Amino acid sequence: MASCFGTRPLSGWEKALRPPVTRARAAKAEGKVRPVSAVCRSKRLCTLPLLQASRNLEVMERYLKYRWTDHVPSLKEPPEGPHAIAAMRLLCMAQANGRTVVDAFNLELPQEDKEVLSVEMSRTGCAGQSFSPTLVPKEILSKPAGPAFVIYYGPAFLQALGSDSAVLRLRILAEIYRCSRELWPESAAAVATSVHVRIDTVKGLKVAEILDVSKGELWLVTKHNESEAFVERASHRKLNKFVRNGQKFQILDLGFLRESHKQ
């Protein structure tokens, strides 16, 4: 999500936050600050206040809490703890599927995947800036590192839930983050940078369609340059070509999808 605040986007956020708020509601949410319209990188208008860049995270945190408390049916008070930012971001990303996705994140997602999402979705890509300590994993504050990942079409992937299992979609998202981190290991020197990971190829697919790749094909996260990667399908021939050319990639381990379909 990319921020519409200030003069540049917040790194590490999916680009497609589409807040269904009016000017009046946005002003109320942000303390009566006069809002201006800005074009999100998702090419949809969102009405948000124009504030100094140093306040971006503070305003974004307030906005996430506002979206949580404004949800119908009620989700009660905004969450706290190391998984809070990830949960609130997932609610915004999933839109109409928000409650289903958040419940899956909180109650059903394996702990390992929950930790991956919580850590990676709490990175900001901004040096010296973080969300409130009570809302993020301790390592985000004790060991600031980057790059942060911008998952292009991450929101679309969750919004296309349909009859699929929300847990399986979250596990796929966690595996994409995990492979991306293998390609870009944590580095304190990269704390103020971001990498775009495009998932165009899977954003509209059902889980069964993701699993049903042709015989011998695999899903990869492929590093195309120092700031961009793609999720793509690859045959053994294509894989061999990548190896021959020194192309960096990680194979998505989607064995859990096969196990879920056997049950």
Cβ-based neighbours of 60, under 8 Å, separated by 6 or more = 3, 5, 10, 13
Would you place residue 263 in the very low, low, confident or very high pLDDT band (cuts 50, 70, 90)?
low
Q: In terms of pLDDT, which residue wins out, 166 or 14?
A: 166
For the chain, the helix, strand and coil percentages under 3-state DSSP, each to the nearest 5: 45, 15, 40
Task: Calculate the average pLDDT of the chain.
Answer: 83
Is the confidence at residue 9, as pLDDT, over 70? no
Q: Rounded to 5 degrees, what are φ and ψ at 223?
A: -85, 115
Total residue length of the chain:
263
Ordered by start, the domain boundaries in the chain are 23-262
57-110 pLDDT per residue, tens: 888 999 999 999 999 999 999 999 999 999 999 999 999 999 999 999 999 999
Q: Rounded to 5 degrees, what are φ and ψ at 154?
A: -60, -45
Query: What pTM does this model have?
Result: 0.81
Q: Are 146 and 134 in contact (CB under 8 A)?
A: no
